[in-house]
């Protein structure tokens, strides 16, 4: 087991969920603390509230990983008579760093909105509103047959060959003959000076995102037996990596809205919620969901043919607009995003095992939902 710093942990996280996925103006990243410090115990939470900070202090946590940014708006002062402000001082006093992954986690593939749609059992899921498209390139390189597996593995481990979140290490190979004549001054891995050579080679082709290209080229050069590997890189125009807000998918079996409302309550373990509906007996087959406060995107759900749109914190006037447009809406509240706690806990523990980190990851036990429903009284 080896110790790690906050920098090392966040570097790995941001390789999966980069900050550029966040919506403009969203204050993601480090909020308090020092990433150069060693990290021994991480607390995963949906919100950073005074009660959560106290929990972190009692559990001797040195790093809080939160979905919601604790400093969403700039502070005007550090008046510690205010409990919200005092918690920042408490965090600094106890050397607890705080990092937030908000809309970048929402927009990430296999992130918040995928977790929510997965919980509902949606099928044929697609992005509700594609907001970012990342072009990819194709890289091809010729390798002697005997070294093909080594070079291919090195390139894929560096980031090449990922077609989607469901398929990695993807490549294509074509057999051929490489011909060359080493001249004076060359140091050929195969062949002799001034003698023509023909080598059975395979041409390996893979796709790679720009952000991994430098690492893939480094891996290629380190693993390839030739002094000067022959490779090509070109942009693919008909394939892009897509990211965006919300998800839309289909239920395995249609159900009435009345039944679906109860289903949503059961899935997210909530006592009550608001909804807009003209007919409780309408059939629900296609569902759009976007965690958090995403009422303003409701027309994207309509465009995708959703029978119902699920999102939190729907505003009064936005609800009137939704109603006028004939959309059925369920508002289960913002707190259903607490699904991130077990998901992140599982992910971070996988990384801990894979990298042999001397690290403990725990989920906050504090319920940060500010609302109480009358059914709980």
Q: What is the pLDDT of residues 192-237, one digit of tens each?
A: 999 898 999 999 999 998 888 999 999 999 999 998 898 999 988 7
Query: In 10 A of CB 370, how many CB atoms?
Result: 10
Mean pLDDT over residues 82-107, rounded? 96
Q: How far apart are CA 310 and CA 289, in angstroms?
A: 5
Per mean pLDDT, which range of 77-81, 253-257, 337-341 is the poorest?
A: 77-81
What pLDDT is attached to residue 88? 95
Q: How far apart are CA 204 and CA 144, in angstroms?
A: 11
What pLDDT is attached to residue 73? 84
Binding residues for a divalent metal cation: 67-68, 106, 334, 337
Q: Say if residue 165's pLDDT is above 80.
A: no
Q: How far apart are CA 259 and CA 254, in angstroms?
A: 10
* Per-residue confidence band for 284, with pLDDT thresholds at 50, 70 and 90: very high
Q: How far apart are CA 161 and CA 20, in angstroms?
A: 22
Q: Say if residue 305's pLDDT is above 70.
A: yes
* Per-residue confidence band for 189, with pLDDT thresholds at 50, 70 and 90: confident
What pLDDT is attached to residue 209? 87
Q: Which pair of structure tokens corresponds to residue 300? A: 């994207």
* Per-residue confidence band for 103, with pLDDT thresholds at 50, 70 and 90: very high
Tokens 């009064």 appear where? 316
Looking at the DSSP bridge assignments, the partners of residue 126 are: 248
Residue 109 CA, chain-centre distance (Å), reads: 5
pLDDT digit string (tens) for 111-141? 999 999 999 999 999 999 999 988 889 999 9
Q: Go through the domains of the chain in sequence order and give each one's CATH number.
A: 4-103+338-368 (3.40.1390.30), 107-130+244-334 (3.40.1390.30), 133-242 (3.30.70.120)
Coil vs helix vs strand at 333 = coil
Q: How far apart are CA 167 and CA 202, in angstroms?
A: 22
Residue 3 CA, chain-centre distance (Å), reads: 25
Binding residues: 67-68, 106, 334, 337
Contacts for 159 with CB less than 8 Å, ≥ 6 apart = 208, 209, 211, 212, 215, 216
Task: Please give the model's pTM, rounded to 2 decimal places.
Answer: 0.85
Q: Which pair of structure tokens corresponds to residue 158? A: 């560096």
Cα–Cα distances (Å) from 57 to 66, 180, 219, 362, 367, in that order, read 15, 66, 43, 13, 17
What pLDDT is attached to residue 376? 67
Give Rg (Cα) of the chain.
26
Question: Which of 287, 291, 292, 258 minimizes the C-alpha distance to 275?
Answer: 258
Question: Which of 294, 341, 323 minimizes the C-alpha distance to 128?
Answer: 294
């Amino acid at each position: 087991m080896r110790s790690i710093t906050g920098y090392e942990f966040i570097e790995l996280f941001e390789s999966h969920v980069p900050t550029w996925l966040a919506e403009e103006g969203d204050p993601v990243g480090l909020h308090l603390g020092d990433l150069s410090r060693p990290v021994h115990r991480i607390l995963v939470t949906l919100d950073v509230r005074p009660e959560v900070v106290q929990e972190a202090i009692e559990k001797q946590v040195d790093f809080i990983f939160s979905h919601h940014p604790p400093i969403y708006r700039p502070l005007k002062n550090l008046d510690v008579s205010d409990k919200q402000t005092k918690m920042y001082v408490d965090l600094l006093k106890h050397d607890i760093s705080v990092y937030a992954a908000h809309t970048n986690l929402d927009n990430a593939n296999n992130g918040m909105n995928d977790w929510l749609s997965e919980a509902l059992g949606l099928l044929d899921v697609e992005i509700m509103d594609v907001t970012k498209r990342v072009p990819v390139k194709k890289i091809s390189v010729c390798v002697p047959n005997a070294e093909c597996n080594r070079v291919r593995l090195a390139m894929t481990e560096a980031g090449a060959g990922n077609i989607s979140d469901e398929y990695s290490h993807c490549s294509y190979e074509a057999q051929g003959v490489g011909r060359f004549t080493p001249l004076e001054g060359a140091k050929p891995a195969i062949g002799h000076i001034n003698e023509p050579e023909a080598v059975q080679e395979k041409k390996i082709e893979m796709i790679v995102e720009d952000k991994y290209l430098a690492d893939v080229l480094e891996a290629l050069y380190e693993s390839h037996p030739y002094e000067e590997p022959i490779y090509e890189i070109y942009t693919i125009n008909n394939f892009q990596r897509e990211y965006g807000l919300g998800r839309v998918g289909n239920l395995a079996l249609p159900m009435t809205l009345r039944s679906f409302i109860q289903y949503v309550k059961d899935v997210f373990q909530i006592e009550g919620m608001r909804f807009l509906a003209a007919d409780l007996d309408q059939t629900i087959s296609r569902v759009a969901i976007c965690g958090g406060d995403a009422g303003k995107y409701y027309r994207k759900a309509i465009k995708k043919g959703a029978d119902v749109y699920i999102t939190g914190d729907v505003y009064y006037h936005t609800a009137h607009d939704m109603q006028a447009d004939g959309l059925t809406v369920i508002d289960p509240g913002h707190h259903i995003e607490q699904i991130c706690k077990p998901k992140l806990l599982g992910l971070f523990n996988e990384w801990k095992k894979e990298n042999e980190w001397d690290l403990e990851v725990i989920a906050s036990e504090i319920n940060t939902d500010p609302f109480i429903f009358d059914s709980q009284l």
